[in-house]
């Protein structure tokens, strides 16, 4: 084994030559810490589990090499910087040349260029971790560690205990993650590295502290049980919480080391001294001052915990339990599980579950990361890029200001858990945010700001940032305690002591509210029976053992009153930037049993978007979604049971996804193992994260599930795409953009703004229809949606567009008089001047769209809202109501394409939903739809089938006046579902010849699929994905000048030919950026870096600067192009992007 002195002497003098030194340095390090060296590389890469130069395949198929890799353990990336120059500047030309030739590697250590190089190396290693697949992650996930070695100088260590490859964080914390060569003299440091090589999971703080935490909770539970019957539960709970925090205080240096333990040992010998001594100590911890019990000056703790100093009398054995608990190392307690175990220990009904499982921290992080940390880290990466860009421009002060602004953003954050329990989620969030804060402070220090105080003053994250709502008062108090223990633990680990924590040590921020999170009421009235006695029910919590089966059954003696809640309404939540949590697992069938009839009925009335058959958790989901869409929070994430995918729960999600201001699911796991915090039972849950946007998300599904240490470890497979309400992935139709080929072809029908415009035929004849010259052009049949779906009303509309009021009065006086009485009074009250001044003209006559119809004899229409999507041809003598969408074409070929299942699928995916009825939005359903490039024979076939379809329906309706489109398509739907028909439906089948209707549709669907060159039996999601891809292709063509006009003679009359030939395309042109909405050049550098990364992420291929510039509107000026180029180079330097001969891309 290599000696430490030899290792240090050899490598402290190494030069800045990474390639020649890296492997030798790694081998010597292995010798030093006593582990095996990497194996030789084998031809079969699956066998290369511990090697130098491990191959991984990049996003675009390019092969990358990991410097050193050990499967399931670590990724090591080697770089080598150079030390600062220590010799004097040479005077001779030869000496100066020698100094210029000396290698500097990846920058001089201690400079910004070195910091940047090390950050780039970390991101490179992170990217390698994400690229690992197959056998490399089959054993439980990606390596928990990545390391960046500056050969001969230091090793930076980062960990990701979720092993999902999301983000590796400085380990053990941002102040101590870099191991310098001199630090290797510390045996603890060498042991840390040895474990990274041999047993990395043993370094997981949650695993190491779980045993300590469970041991302590066991002691407290025994003591709590021994006090039952002597003191009430709440008194015992408060007493034990003060005991345990006092134990924690002595172990972290807030009290003299072992001082409380010695007090307990003395009291064990003299139990009568326990009550007065502990009471006196806690009194001093409340106010600060000299404690006689400890014979020491005590800091002021307060924070509400010591406002009540009540202690209880204990005997010798009971004090011994406290001594045993105090002897544990409270610095190792894991707050993420301690709260759960303490809550069980203090509750007599839950104490028997103390040995049950608890929710592992990795599960909690799996939701907290995408909900809170990932969006913040995206911001942070942009800030880093902006800061480096400013430094490169010599604007150091602005760079510091950019970073400080983000630090203040973190300090101002508010995170809400509206069902916080004992603060499991809030504590994990607090720690992860503190880690991010540490990285921000490190960058400020690198920028020359020095070490900023991380006390309770200034811009820093504290328990005040964590907000909670909890119904259980004991759990609410435990939550506050857990947050403070976690915060002080972190402070101690990252700074070494707690001396800079100001008094009072604990602050009572009132950030954990003890109340109902989803319902509030003005009055609670007990329900009485006929005899005036209160009605009661089982409390939903208390069980007894069945005398025969031995199974727990409800204890009928545990009764609570039944209440009616008066003035009930949805509860308000405090303002928060992010919302995360694990609301109660109560299914709809158990709500009355668990919550009572009065509460269940009240909450179902208070939440209009939640169906009565939805689970209890959906009230939290709906509340958070409303806040999100109102712009009052940035993201929310919840744990729910996996029944969220079922119909009634799914409707809540669908409602919010279908609104004008929709939300999207940006992360979801439909099925995941979980541990119920109430009873430790294994359950299956779903995770969902919502964001206010119409964006793609990451759907993770379990590929493999293994049990390790009593918990299921899972291997997850991520898929990017549009996540649907049923938590499946689908095509992101929202990214489809409007095509020029379809523009000015579709519009809503006429909007009246005056009921007097509608008349029947008899009145029209009295006005002079078919008699007065020209009146037939101004009174026409008028159809709305129901005229098509049901039976026609046979009404007419007065349409006087193009005539002045004087012309109407002179030519058609009876018409003028009718409108003067029936329309003008209503229009006179209208706020819009145009409606008042031109009262005889329809409110929205679609004047700008009428030229599209001028040369046509017929046009295509579809109801805007209809259960079944169908298209039909109307004669130009019929005018459409606003409830119809008109398409300016008389082509049955276009009618056939629109009537096909391919277009109907597209319309359903892109359109909104009005109640239960799909809505056809022309801008999203028609203008984005890519028509096929059909041959002439294919067009002819589709044209004939569409004409046959339209004629069949109209013929059957003419023969049977009561036959409706809705009726025929209802029957067709049942036929396709192979459901039996009732007598009424059989009549419709016969009258509509629905069997033939089905046959025509099937032939039409096959013909349209053939025109696209696709199989006729594609699944809906495959159809949608192909249409999204085709939309992007057409948009790229149009950006290069090829537009496939639907009606070139109308849309592009100046073009000699309607469609350019393929030969006219510049097939060698640069890639075109296709975006659903042109980007605006943001105001700040950080926002610009973010939008540039988003453009690169959305592209399949590398993009040159010219292509990137096309994504912006207005067009980038020369100065902005230069700024974009500079930022892109900065992203490359930081490892956030890559550059090759084809352009920029995300690695």
> pLDDT band at 261, cuts 50/70/90?
very high
Considering only residues 569 and 919, tell me which one the structure prediction assigns the higher pLDDT: 569
Residue 915 counted as domain residue: no
Q: Which domain holds residue 392?
A: 361-514
Judged by phi (left if over 0) then psi (alpha if -120 to 50, else beta), residue 825 lies in alpha
Q: What is the DSSP letter of 1017?
A: T
∠ CA(37), CA(43), CA(46), 5° rounding? Answer: 75
Q: Is 896 among the domain residues?
A: no
Contact status, residue 636 vs residue 625, Cβ threshold 8 Å: yes
Enumerate the β-bridge partners of residue 918. Answer: 913
Pair 59, 185 in one domain: yes
pLDDT of residue 105: 53
Q: Per DSSP, what are the bridge partners of residue 706?
A: 713
Q: Is residue 931 part of a domain?
A: no
Residues 91 and 178 in one domain: yes
pLDDT score, position 523: 94
Task: Summarize pLDDT for 1089-1105 with one digit per residue, the tens.
Answer: 999 999 998 887 889 99
State whether 277 and 340 are in the same domain: yes
**Mean pLDDT in residue range 448-468:** 72
Check pLDDT > 90 for residue 997: yes
The Cα 925–Cα 639 span in angstroms is 34
Do 309 and 371 lie in one domain? The reply is no
Mean pLDDT of 745-768: 94
Least confident of 21-35, 1076-1090, 1115-1129: 1076-1090
704, 735, 766: which is the final residue of a domain? 735
Please check the confidence at residue 99 and state whether its pLDDT lies above 80.
Answer: no
Report the pLDDT averaged over residues 28-39: 96
Report residue 1073's pLDDT band, with 50, 70 and 90 as the boundaries: low
The first and second tokens of residue 467, run together, are: 């907000």
pLDDT band at residue 378, thresholds of 50, 70 and 90? very high
pLDDT on residue 1067: 41
Q: Which of 32-46, 98-112, 915-929 has the lowest mean pLDDT?
A: 98-112
**Minimal CA–CA distance to 485: which of 118, 209, 144, 778?**
209
Which string of DSSP letters, residue by residue, matches 466-491?
EEEEES-HHHHHHHHHHHHHHHHHHH
Residue at token pair 């329900």 = 527
Predicted local distance difference test score (pLDDT) of residue 823: 94
The percentage of the chain sitting over the pLDDT mark of 90, rounded to a whole number, equals 61
pLDDT of the residue at 574: 97
pLDDT band for position 68 (50/70/90)?
Answer: very high
Q: Residue 411: name the closest of 373, 463, 486, 449 by CA.
A: 463
- Whether residues 239 and 267 share a domain: the answer is yes
Say if strands 569-570 and 563-566 run parallel, antiparallel, or are unpaired. Answer: unpaired
Q: Based on the fold, state whether residues 370 and 296 are members of the same structural domain.
A: no
Taking only the tens place, the pLDDT of each residue in 799-855 is 999 999 999 999 999 999 999 999 999 898 888 899 999 999 999 999 889 999 988
User: Span 1141-1146, mean pLDDT?
Assistant: 88
Would the pLDDT of 208 be above 80? no
In this structure, the answer to whether residues 590 and 644 fall within a common structural domain is yes
892 located within any domain: no
Q: What is the pLDDT of residue 1063?
A: 30
- Which of 456, 485, 514 finishes a domain? 514
- Opening angle at CA 315, ends 310 and 319, nearest 5: 75
Q: What is the 8-class DSSP label of residue 562?
A: -
87: pLDDT confidence band, cut at 50, 70 and 90?
very low
pLDDT digits (tens, 9 = 90+) for 488-529: 998 888 888 888 888 999 998 999 999 999 999 999 998 888
Same domain, 332 and 442: no
Beta bridge partners of residue 844, listed in sequence order: 751
Chain-centre distance for alpha carbon 216: 37
Would the pLDDT of 1046 be above 90?
Answer: yes
- Segment 669-716, tens digit of pLDDT: 999 888 755 555 678 899 999 999 878 899 998 887 776 655 667 778
Domain identity same for 578 and 494: no
Question: Is 15 inside any structural domain?
Answer: yes
How many distinct structural domains can be found in the chain? 6
For residues 1058-1067, give the mean pLDDT: 38
Return the pLDDT at 1006.
Answer: 97
pLDDT for residue 676: 59
Q: In the predicted model, what is the mean pLDDT of residues 1057-1062?
A: 40
Which CATH number fits the domain that encloses residue 1132?
A: 1.10.10.10
Domain membership of residue 877 (yes or no) is: no
Q: What is the pLDDT of residue 401?
A: 92
Check whether residue 380 and residue 497 sit in a common domain. Answer: yes
| pLDDT(1061) > 70 | no
pLDDT band at 339 (very low <50, low <70, confident <90, very high): confident
H helices present in 744-855, as ranges: 761-767, 785-789, 805-811, 813-822, 824-828, 833-837, 850-853
The band of 530, judged by pLDDT with boundaries at 50, 70 and 90, is confident
Higher pLDDT, 97 or 457: 97
Q: Which residue has the higher pLDDT, 162 or 376?
A: 376
Name the pTM for this structure: 0.74
Residue 673 DSSP SS3: strand
Supply the CATH number for residue 576's domain: 3.40.50
Percent of the chain exceeding pLDDT 70 equals 90
Distance from C-alpha of 675 to C-alpha of 363, rounded to nearest angstrom: 9
Give the pLDDT confidence score for residue 681 in this predicted structure. Answer: 62
Position 455 confidence tier, pLDDT thresholds 50, 70, 90: very low
Query: Residue 200 contacts by C-beta under 8 Å, 6 or more apart in sequence?
Result: 72, 73, 74, 143, 144, 145
Q: Are residues 805 and 716 in the same domain?
A: no
pLDDT score of 54 more than 90: yes
> What is residue 277's predicted lDDT score, i.e. its pLDDT?
97
pLDDT score for 620: 98
Say what the pLDDT of residue 913 is. 59
- Asked if the structure places residue 969 within a domain, the reply is no
Q: Which of 121-135, 552-566, 709-723 is least confident?
A: 709-723
Let me know if residue 690 belongs to a domain.
Answer: yes
pLDDT at 357 over 50: no
Query: Is residue 234 domain-shared with residue 312, that is, in the same domain?
Result: yes
pLDDT digits (tens, 9 = 90+) for 175-191: 889 999 999 999 999 99
- Examine the pLDDT at 103 and tell me if it is beyond 90: no
Domain boundary among 841, 866, 897: 841
pLDDT at site 98: 47
């Amino acid at each position: 084994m290599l000696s430490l002195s030899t290792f240090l002497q050899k490598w402290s003098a190494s030069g800045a030559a990474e390639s020649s030194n890296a492997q030798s340095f790694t081998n010597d390090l292995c010798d030093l810490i006593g582990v095996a060296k990497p194996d030789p590389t084998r031809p079969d890469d699956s066998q290369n589990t511990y090697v130098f130069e491990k191959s991984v395949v990049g996003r675009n198929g390019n092969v990358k090499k990991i410097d050193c890799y050990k499967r399931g353990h670590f990724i090591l990336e080697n770089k080598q910087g150079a030390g600062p120059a220590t010799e004097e500047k040479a005077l001779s030309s030869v000496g100066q040349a020698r100094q210029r030739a000396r290698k500097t590697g990846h920058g001089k250590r201690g400079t910004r260029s070195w910091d940047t190089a090390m950050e780039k190396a970390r991101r490179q290693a992170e990217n390698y971790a994400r690229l690992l697949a197959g056998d490399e992650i089959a054993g439980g996930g990606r390596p928990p560690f990545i390391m960046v070695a500056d050969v001969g100088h230091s090793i930076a260590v980062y960990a990701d205990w979720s092993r999902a490859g999301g983000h590796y964080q400085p380990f053990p914390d941002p102040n101590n993650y870099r191991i310098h060569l001199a630090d290797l003299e510390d045996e603890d440091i060498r042991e840390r590295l040895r474990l990274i090589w041999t047993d990395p999971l043993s370094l997981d703080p949650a695993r190491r502290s779980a045993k300590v935490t469970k041991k302590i909770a066991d002691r407290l539970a025994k003591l709590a049980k021994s006090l039952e019957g002597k003191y009430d539960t709440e008194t015992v709970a408060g007493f034990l919480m003060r005991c345990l925090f006092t134990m924690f205080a002595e172990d972290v240096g807030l009290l003299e080391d072992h001082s409380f333990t010695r007090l307990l040992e003395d009291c064990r010998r003299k139990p009568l001294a326990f009550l007065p001594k502990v009471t006196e100590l806690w009194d001093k911890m409340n106010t600060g001052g000299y404690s006689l019990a400890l014979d020491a000056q005590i800091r002021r703790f307060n924070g509400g915990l010591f406002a009540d100093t009540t202690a209880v009398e204990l005997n010798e054995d009971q004090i011994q339990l406290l001594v045993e608990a105090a002897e544990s190392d409270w610095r190792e307690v894991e707050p993420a599980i301690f709260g759960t175990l303490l809550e069980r220990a203090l509750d007599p009904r839950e104490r028997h579950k103390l040995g049950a499982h608890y929710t592992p921290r990795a599960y909690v992080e799996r939701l907290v990361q995408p909900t809170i940390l990932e969006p913040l880290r995206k911001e942070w990466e942009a800030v880093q890029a902006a800061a480096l860009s400013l430094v490169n421009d010599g604007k150091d002060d602005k760079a510091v200001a950019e970073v400080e602004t983000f630090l203040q953003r973190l300090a101002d954050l508010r995170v809400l858990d509206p069902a916080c329990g004992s603060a499991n989620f809030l504590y994990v969030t607090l720690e992860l945010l503190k880690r991010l804060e540490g990285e921000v402070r490190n960058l400020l220090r690198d920028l020359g700001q020095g070490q900023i105080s991380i006390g309770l003053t200034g811009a820093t994250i504290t328990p005040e940032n964590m907000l909670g709502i909890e119904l259980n008062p004991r759990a609410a108090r435990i939550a506050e305690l857990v947050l403070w223990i976690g915060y002080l633990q972190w402070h101690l680990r990252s700074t070494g002591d707690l001396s800079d924590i100001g008094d009072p040590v604990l602050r009572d921020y009132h950030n954990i509210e003890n109340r109902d999170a989803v319902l509030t009421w003005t009055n609670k009235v007990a329900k009485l029976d006929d005899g005036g006695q209160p009605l009661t029910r089982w409390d939903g919590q208390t069980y007894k053992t069945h005398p025969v089966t031995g199974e727990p059954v409800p204890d009928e003696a545990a009764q609570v009153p039944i209440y009616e809640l008066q003035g009930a309404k949805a509860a308000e939540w405090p303002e928060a930037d992010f919302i995360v949590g694990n609301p109660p697992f109560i299914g709809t069938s158990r709500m009355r049993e668990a919550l009572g009839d009065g509460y269940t009925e009240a909450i179902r009335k208070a939440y209009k978007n939640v169906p009565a058959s939805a689970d209890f958790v959906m009230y939290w989901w709906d509340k958070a979604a409303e806040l999100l869409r109102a712009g009052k929070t940035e993201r929310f994430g919840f744990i729910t049971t996996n029944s969220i995918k079922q119909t009634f729960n799914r409707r809540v999600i669908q409602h919010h996804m279908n609104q004008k201001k929709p939300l999207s699911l940006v992360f979801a796991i439909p099925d995941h193992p979980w541990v119920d915090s109430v009873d430790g039972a294994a359950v299956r849950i779903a995770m969902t994260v919502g964001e206010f946007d119409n964006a793609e998300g990451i759907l993770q599904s379990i590929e493999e599930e293994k049990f390790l240490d009593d918990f299921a470890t899972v291997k997850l497979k991520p898929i990017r795409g549009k996540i649907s309400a049923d938590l499946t992935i689908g095509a992101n139709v929202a990214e489809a953009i409007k095509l020029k080929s379809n523009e000015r072809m579709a519009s809503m029908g006429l909007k009246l703004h005056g009921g007097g415009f509608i008349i029947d035929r008899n009145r029209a004849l009295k006005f002079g229809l078919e008699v007065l010259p020209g009146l037939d052009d101004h009174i026409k049949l008028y159809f709305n949606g129901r005229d098509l779906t049901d039976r026609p009303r046979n009404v007419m509309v007065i349409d006087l567009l193009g005539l002045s009021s004087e012309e109407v009065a002179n030519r058609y006086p009876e018409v003028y008089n009718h409108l003067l009485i029936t329309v003008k009074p209503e229009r006179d009250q209208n706020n819009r001047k145009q409606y008042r001044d031109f009262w005889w003209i329809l409110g929205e006559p679609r004047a700008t769209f009428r030229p599209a119809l001028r040369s046509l004899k017929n046009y295509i229409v579809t109801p805007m809202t209809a259960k079944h999507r169908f298209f039909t041809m109307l004669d130009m003598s019929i005018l459409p109501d606003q409830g119809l969408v008109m398409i300016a074409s008389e082509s049955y070929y276009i009618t056939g394409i629109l009537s096909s299942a391919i277009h109907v699928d597209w319309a359903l995916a892109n359109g909104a939903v009005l109640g239960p009825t799909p809505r056809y939005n022309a801008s999203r359903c028609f203008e984005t739809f890519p028509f096929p490039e059909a041959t002439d024979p294919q067009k002819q076939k589709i044209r004939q089938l569409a004409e046959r379809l339209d004629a069949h329906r109209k013929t059957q309706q003419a023969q049977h006046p009561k036959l409706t489109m809705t009726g025929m398509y209802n029957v067709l739907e049942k036929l396709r579902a192979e459901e039996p028909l009732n007598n009424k439906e059989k009549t419709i089948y016969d009258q509509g010849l629905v069997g033939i209707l089905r046959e025509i549709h099937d032939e039409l669907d096959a013909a349209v699929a053939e025109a696209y060159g696709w199989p006729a039996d594609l699944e809906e999601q495959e159809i949608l994905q192909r249409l999204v891809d085709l939309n992007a292709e057409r948009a790229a063509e149009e950006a290069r000048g090829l537009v496939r006009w639907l009606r070139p003679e109308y849309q592009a009359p100046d073009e000699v030919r309607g469609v350019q030939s393929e030969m006219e395309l510049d097939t060698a042109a640069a890639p075109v950026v296709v975006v659903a909405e042109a980007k605006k050049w943001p105001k700040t550098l950080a926002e610009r870096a973010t939008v540039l990364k988003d453009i690169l992420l959305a592209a399949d291929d590398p993009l040159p600067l010219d292509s990137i510039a096309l994504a912006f509107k207005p067009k980038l000026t020369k100065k902005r192009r230069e700024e974009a180029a500079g930022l892109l180079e900065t992203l490359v330097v930081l490892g956030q992007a890559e550059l090759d001969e084809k352009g920029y891309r995300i690695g």
